[in-house]
Chain A
Amino acid sequence: MEPFLALVSKPDNVPIIAIIFLLPFFTWLAFSQGRRNDKAGTPAEAALKDKVYVWPYLCRAEFLCAIIVMLILGVWSIALDAPLEEMSDPAKTPNPSKAPWYFLALQEMLVYFDPWIAGVVLPGLIIAGLIAIPYIDINPKGKGYYTLKERPFAIATFCFGFFMLWIVLMVVGTFLRGPGWNFFAPWVKWDPHKVVSLTNVNLSYKFGIRGDLTANIFGFIVVAGYFSLGPLLYFWKRKTSRFLQELGLIRYIIVSFLFLTMMALPIKMILRWVWNIKYIWVSPWFNV
């Protein structure tokens, strides 16, 4: 436990410890206000009609905030030194080699995906997806007030994608990944000689396919099926629903693609943990 406490108290980890407390708090704040609004029918924010001038009434409050932030930053920077590490030496890399805390979720993805997918394609899609949100989110509700009921899909997707796949993986990467990127429970000493069984096979192998070309084709079919069958089925069943009607075909394809890409991570994690599946689609150029 002692090494874990030392890890938690490292100056490097101040932001991530703060996140662990701040995120639930603000989520709870937003959720409770949303539930209150949903219960009341009309948002409480609608009652605030009174307005004041920016100068001086807003500016003075902002100025006070600025002083508080400066105070915090001042004390922080005096009390805790910048977390530098040893001089870089290609012959002696640190073990574990960790990215900055805000990239640790990406690094965690490297365990389950090809570097090319985890390091380039998925981060690219995350950015592209964030850019696309204003264009694919056509729900006009929930602007200027808190609500849960009126935006269930958006909120659920955000909570899963951000909290589970980004924050949790980041915390895991920071505190629970030790030498050799092995998983260590908090009470376990980080042993650089820890050995874990890491013999994994590709999905095609599990299905008895041994040829390279056939495995390639098999993988393509599975991946293509994953991205097409679900959306098609959902579309065929619910094509008359108001939601799909408003969304339109193009937006539906984009949303379903992004959503399925996001869900690919937990799916691959489960495949790895339960069936020791390494890749689903192995091709000479990339692996998925």
Chain B
Amino acid sequence: MRSKKEIPVEEKSYSALFFILSALLGFVTLWGFWNEAITRRPWKAIQQRFYQYEYEKTKIALEGAQKQLPEIETPEPLDAKRFSKLEQNINDATIKLDEALQERKFLQSEADAINYKYQFALHHSKAIHEKGDKSDPEVDKWKSRLDDYDRQIEGKLTQDVVAAERTLADAYRESASFYETGGHIEDALSQFLLVQKYDPTSEALPAKIRDLRLQVESIRADRTAKAEVDKLEEKLSSLSPLKRSFLGSLLESPFHKTRSLVQYYLEDFEYTADRCATCHFSVDRSGYDRFAAESFEVEGGEGGQTPSKQLMHPLVKVGSESVLIDDEEAESDQYVLNENGLLTFVDPDIADFGAEVEIEYETGYDAVLRTHPYRDVLLGNHPVERFGCTPCHGGQGQALTAQSAHALTHAEFWLEPVLGLDEHTSELSGQLSRERKKGKRADQHKIADLEKELEEKRSELRGYLYTNCRRCHSEVMMLDYPSPPPETADARDYAPDLSKGMALFEDLGCQGCHAVDGYPALENLANVGPSLAKIGSKVNGTEWLVGWLKDPPSYLPDTKMPVFFPTEDMSKLVYLKNGMKREGTVRSEAGAIIVRTDDGTEYPYREDEVDRIVDIVKSIAAYLEQQTDSTIDGIEPNYSTSSKAIAAGEETVKSVGCIACHAVDGLGSDFAPNLDDVGNKLTPNFLRQWVDNPKSYDPDTVMPDMRLSDTEVDNVVAYLMSLKSPESPAVKVTADSYGNIVEEIDSEEGETLVRLYGCFGCHTIPGFEDEPKVGAELSAFGSKTVDEFDFGDSVGIEHSWHGWTIGKLTDPRRYQTRRIIQRMPVFPISQEDAYALAVLLKSFQAKKYPLSYIHQPSDTLRSVDAGRRLVKKYNCQGCHEIEAKGGEYVEFIDSQRDDLDLNQAKQFAPPTLRAEGAKVHPDWLFSFLKEPTLIRYGLDVRMATFGFSDEETTALVQYFSALSDEPFPYETIPLPPTAQADLRVGKQIFDALQCISCHPEQGEVIPAGSDKTGRPDLSLAKGRLKEDWLIDWMKDPAFFQPGTAMPQAWPKIGGVYQPVDGFAIQDAEEQIRLVRDYLLSLSK
């Protein structure tokens, strides 16, 4: 044997090698095809699953429909011989009728010709004989001939026709009865209708026809049900096994395209191509919702079988259900529910009672194949063909694997991750799918744990789904349309976290320091904090101001004012002799001055290195103290301390309505500052001016004028000055000293510090009107990536957008380091608040959406939104219930008066403003808002004078009109004048109903404690109340004001309003109208 090397090249054979390599190449080629068709098209399996679901669902629906389907009797074919004989009869009779008609027609036309001649002769003779009183033989001749003809036509010929019609009708009747007995109801009906046509005198006929019509209707309904069943059958057969099988995806796709990409191509939206629906195949198909509810009556249970019911969905998450049997919560041992949706009842007799069952459950469909939540509203208003998926959800629309489509940060082609998911959910879902792929070896406990964790994490991030809503709907406070606007509490806010975030952002005054592009509402917002223009005259000395600046919550625990100096000790500015400065707390130790900065670093300096030390808070206070007003300071402070005045003042404060906004003695609301310690804070002179006329102190304040008399103002001032909490910390403002250095309190430095900390962001301070905002611009904050965030020295903060933002919001100084000083103050926000704010911040994106996609709110929506902002700004809901929210004032009254229940308290409370736009005339509302007038006598609480501008007043009027779906501007159509007699009747009914026993008469003076207290003066109705509304109100007062004391004088029984007895007019509607007319005549 020669060794391999010794064989000459010419004699070597490579055929074995060649064969193996070729086989391998062939295998790789096949693998390439497989990879392309199957491995890289994972959606095929998902679509296959959809078709399987669809098959199961259709089968259940078909079975249900078939069970419901009544027996449809196909009538026997008719006896042909008799049928043709009847047909013949009808035919003959028709011919007879035609002949009779024809006969008459002939004579008729001849008669017409003779008539012409007669007329002609008549005219001719008239022309000759002017007077025409002489008879003319020509005329007479034609006249007698015409009479002759007419006699014939109306006589015999018509009788012939009628006789022929009767014969025909009889023929039809006979045929109709034949059809009816043969079961051909529809044909019978059409024949009977013909009978009616030819013999209208028949008396039994109409009843017969009515009866047949009902039968036909039921037949047609059955037929529709049958058609439904046929449709389902057709659908079921179209979902052939091939379509549902894996093989089908291979075989069918090239020819039938049953498995193909679903793509929404949005040319207008930057040429976006979204293929999400390829996997989310049923997102725009109904019937794959996560939660389902059904109600039915239990049937079956014969022959020893237990009654059962197949639910609509073939997949049910067992354990998620709640079952009501006859409105009672069913115990879990009363029924058995299996995963395929078969509900079996344990009690075999349950069907005998015909028990009503209501069941709510979670369906078991794969999450990827679920219907879009609120599909009707959300996809109805955003059709996928136009809006696609990614404009709202983010993610990468073109991608065809879950990982890159959802574009999580470590996905291959990262653009923007789909909203509501992040690195952690992606990691978890990766683990989950790896575990599931193990098949039988998979650890079920681990899968369950992972599923739970993933679900929790996802629901934690769910709020981010709403962020993109704002990119088109940036103008409104709340996304609760479609119209009509909601006036009920169950109106749904479709982006709750976002609305909450916006409310927080605006309430906390973030816009004071941070600029945001594309947030139009911010431009019109008033300052969050009070004006500091005259603060020196307002507050009671520097001590209070220093204590407040240092730690606002110690004075007002609920204040929005953030904490700028969270360190325990006062922060100082230390100027060094070398020109540098350090900010922090200072202590002196063995001749050294040690400055400790906010991040905890300590810098020791020798005393001779330090130039001077300035106290930050005291300097700011010193600067602010200089902002005074001579009209307040010019008067000698003077207020009563008598207990009588104080008691009277307390009475006023607690009754006129102050506590709708302020709280005192644990009573009231937190809209405006708590008054419990107000005596320590304010000067009496300021208080007097403020209570008397707030706008004279600050023209921009929302505090209204309560129209108090001078004595009342004095008493209120006396009361408020007496409110001094003994625990109020008495800060002594003195200059501290460190070693040999005494700190300085420098008001000029204070001004610089005000500029540095940006106090003017929330407060009006003279001289700072044109200062730029001190905070970072947030216009593109949402598009920042993790790399752009500095996490400082923080530990335990998740390194993600979410983590950084929540960390920053909950503790704004968290990321400061030795190198980076941060001045954002600490706000009182909880974890949930921070999350809502983060949702809003995420919506601040640099990329703007195409203009054609930006939502243009309708006039109604604009009015509603503008109104809501005003309602919020002026806290209208502190007193009134508007849009089913607010109106807590009635509870204060209820809690103060033991003799009343909540409904009775309403008599003494500000009114509910439900349907206010339908109730009052816009003109009246306008002038009332501008200058409130008395409507209900004897009440302590009163509508305040807010000093609304014309624009604000108009906006409020429009708001109420829009809420009630009333037109604006409103055109008043005057009612026609009422007759005196009618007014008299109206008055009689009015008196009979004893309206005056509860309502005050015109100008009546109400004694204290009278039952008429708080009831409207009826003489004010004209011009104030809308005429139509008055009628609706009298019909059903409780609809407008639930729990009202106003009785329903015309009770509704069986859908009909019952009239008041004892009057000639016994029509309730008419009676109401007369009373209304009488009311409107009562005007002053």
Contacts and interface: CB of A to CB of B under 8 A. Distances in A.
Contacts of A179: 787
B377 interface: no
Interface in B10-39: 10, 14, 17-18, 21-22, 24-25, 28-29, 31-32, 35
Nearest to A74: B28
B35 A78 contact: yes
A100 B28 CA distance: 29
Nearest to A89: B415
B412 interface: yes
A81 to B, nearest CB: 8
Interface stretch (A20-28, A63-71, A257-265, A270-278): A63-71
B785 interface: yes
Contact of A74 (B9, B14, B25, B414): B25
A57 B17 CA distance: 15
Nearest to B780: A91
B415 A86 contact: yes
A149 interface: no
A52 B21 contact: no
A92 B784 CA distance: 10
Contacts of B22: 67
Nearest to B783: A92
B10 A52 contact: yes
Contacts of B24: 71
Interface in A165-210: 179, 192-193
Contacts of B453: none
Contacts of A84: 412-413
Contacts of B366: none
Nearest to A57: B9
A108 to B, nearest CB: 22
A75 B787 CA distance: 36
Contacts, number: 44
B398 to A, nearest CB: 10
B731 interface: no
B415 A71 contact: no
Contacts of A87: 413, 415
Nearest to A191: B787
Contact of B28 (A57, A60, A71, A193): A71
A192 B32 contact: no
A52 B12 CA distance: 13
A64 B17 contact: yes
A193 B791 CA distance: 9
Given A70-B25, A71-B24, A75-B28, A64 B846 contact: no
A78 B28 contact: yes
B1067 interface: no
Contacts of B25: 67, 70-71, 74
Contacts of A241: none
Contacts of A85: 413
Contacts of B412: 81, 84
Contacts of A240: none
Contacts of B790: 193
A111 B279 CA distance: 47
Interface size class of A (residues with CB under 8 A): 20 to 34
Interface residues of B, number: 22
Interface in A48-68: 52, 57, 60-61, 64, 67-68
A91 B413 contact: no
A95 interface: yes
A254 to B, nearest CB: 44
B1055 to A, nearest CB: 64
Interface string A92-104: 1001000000000
A92 B785 contact: yes
Interface in B785-842: 785, 787, 790
Contacts of B17: 64
Given A52-B10, A74-B28, A64 B18 contact: yes
A67 B21 contact: yes
A64 B21 contact: yes
A75 B25 CA distance: 10
B668 to A, nearest CB: 50
Contacts of A78: 28, 31-32, 35
A65 to B, nearest CB: 10
A285 B726 CA distance: 77
A88 to B, nearest CB: 11
A192 B21 CA distance: 48
Interface string B761-792: 00000000000000000000000010100100
Interface string B406-422: 00000011110000000
A94 to B, nearest CB: 10
A22 B52 CA distance: 53
A85 B413 CA distance: 6
Given A84-B413, A86-B413, A74 B10 contact: no
Contact of B14 (A60, A68, A70): A60
Contacts of A86: 413-415
B29 A74 contact: yes
A192 B787 contact: yes
B452 to A, nearest CB: 27
A96 B18 CA distance: 46
B21 A71 contact: yes
A95 B785 CA distance: 11
B745 to A, nearest CB: 39
A75 B31 CA distance: 9
A239 to B, nearest CB: 52
Contacts of A193: 790
Given A57-B10, A84-B413, A85-B413, A68 B21 contact: yes
Interface string B1048-1077: 000000000000000000000000000000
A84 B28 CA distance: 24
A133 B341 CA distance: 82
Contacts of B413: 84-87
Nearest to A65: B21
Nearest to B28: A74
A91 B28 contact: no
A230 B24 CA distance: 60
28 contacts: A57-B10, A61-B14, A64-B18, A64-B21, A67-B18, A67-B21, A67-B22, A67-B25, A70-B25, A71-B21, A71-B24, A71-B25, A75-B28, A78-B31, A78-B32, A78-B35, A81-B412, A84-B412, A85-B413, A86-B413, A86-B414, A86-B415, A87-B415, A91-B846, A92-B785, A95-B787, A192-B787, A193-B790
Given A67-B21, A91-B846, 9 more contacts: A57-B9, A57-B10, A67-B22, A67-B25, A71-B24, A71-B25, A86-B413, A179-B787, A192-B787
Q: Top 5 nearest A-B pairs by Cβ distance?
A: A192-B787, A74-B28, A67-B21, A86-B414, A52-B9
Interface of B: 9-10, 14, 17-18, 21-22, 24-25, 28-29, 31-32, 35, 412-415, 785, 787, 790, 846
